C-alpha cells in the first residue's frame, strides 16, 4: 500500500524589475526527503495548490533528472486542476529534480519552480 505525502504549492503575483506582474511559485517542502519519512517502499506524492485563482496547466508536474522513469509514474490531475498525484517507487536512494508549473485562470501568467525528491534506499 502506498503512503501519501503532501507537497503544498503556492502562487502569488509580484512585480518584476519593470513593474509588470510576475507569477511566483513556491512549494513546501522544497526538498521532499523520503529518507526522513518513516515509510518504506512506494509513496504517493500529492501536490495541492493552496493559492486561489491558480491551477496546473497541461503539464503541471514534470520530473527532469536522468533516469526518473524507473522511479516515478506519470502524474494524474484532479478535475479542478488544483491537485496532482505521482507515485514514487522510493527504492534507489536517488535525488530527483522536478518542476512544478502554475498558471492563472486567464493563462496570462505562467511560472515554475524546481524542487527535489530524495528517495530512500531501505
3-state DSSP assignment of residue 107? coil
Q: Cell triple for residue 97?
A: 529534480
For 5-22, what is the mean pLDDT? Answer: 92
Q: How confident is the model at residue 36 (pLDDT cuts 50, 70, 90)?
A: low
> Tens digit of pLDDT for each residue in 67-79?
999 999 999 999 9
Q: What pLDDT does residue 10 have?
A: 95
Q: Cell triple for residue 68?
A: 526518473
Peptide bond preceding 29 in cis form (omega within 30 of 0):
yes
pTM tops 0.75, yes or no = yes
pLDDT at 120 exceeding the cut of 80: no
- Residue 100's alpha-carbon distances to 1, 14, 29, 39, 109, in angstroms, are 26, 18, 13, 24, 14
The ranges assigned to domains in the chain are 3-118
Report the distance separating Cα 22 and Cα 66, nearest Å.
30
pLDDT at 56 exceeding the cut of 60: yes
Q: Cell triple for residue 61?
A: 508536474
Q: How confident is the model at residue 105 (pLDDT cuts 50, 70, 90)?
A: confident
Under CATH, which architecture does the 3-118 domain have? Sandwich (2.60)
Amino acid at each position: 500500500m502506498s503512503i501519501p505525502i503532501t507537497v503544498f504549492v503556492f502562487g502569488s503575483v509580484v512585480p518584476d524589475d519593470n513593474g509588470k506582474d510576475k507569477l511566483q511559485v513556491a512549494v513546501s517542502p522544497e526538498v521532499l526527503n523520503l529518507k526522513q519519512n518513516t515509510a518504506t517502499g512506494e509513496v504517493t506524492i500529492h501536490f495541492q495548490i493552496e493559492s486561489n485563482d491558480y491551477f496546473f496547466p497541461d503539464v503541471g508536474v514534470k520530473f527532469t533528472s536522468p533516469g526518473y522513469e524507473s522511479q516515478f509514474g506519470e502524474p494524474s490531475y484532479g478535475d479542478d486542476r488544483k491537485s496532482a498525484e505521482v507515485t514514487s517507487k522510493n527504492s534507489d536512494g536517488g535525488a530527483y529534480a522536478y518542476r512544478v508549473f502554475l498558471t492563472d485562470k486567464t493563462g496570462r501568467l505562467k511560472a515554475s519552480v524546481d524542487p527535489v525528491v530524495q528517495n530512500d534506499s531501505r
